[in-house]
């Protein structure tokens, strides 16, 4: 399981970023689509790391949400 941060992006798109996998980011027209696309991106990202015999970063279990 990976944590994902979702926020409104440009052009009426929602952006979803998997913070524990640097560079793993996707988007969608809706929040649900962004999450679905990111789920697929996370799987592909991890598969690529394994295929290249690179370490898979662990999930960060501690999260703090702050609104500023």
φ/ψ of residue 8, rounded to 5: -70, 130
Q: Which residues of the chain have pLDDT under 50?
A: none
Domain map (residue ranges) of the chain: 4-51
Burial of 52 (0-12, 13-18, 19+ CB in 10 A): exposed
| pLDDT value of position 61 | 67
Predicted structure pTM score: 0.80
Residue 53's SS3 state is coil
Q: Give pairs for 11-20: CB < 8 Å, separation 24+.
A: 18/42, 18/45, 19/60, 20/57, 20/58, 20/59, 20/60
What's residue 32's pLDDT?
95
């Amino acid at each position: 399981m990976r944590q994902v941060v979702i926020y409104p992006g440009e052009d009426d798109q929602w952006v979803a970023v998997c913070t524990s996998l640097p560079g793993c980011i996707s988007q969608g027209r809706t929040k649900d689509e962004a999450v679905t696309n990111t789920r697929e991106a996370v799987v592909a990202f991890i598969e690529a790391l394994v295929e290249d015999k690179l370490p898979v970063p662990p999930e960060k279990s501690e999260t703090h949400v702050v609104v500023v």
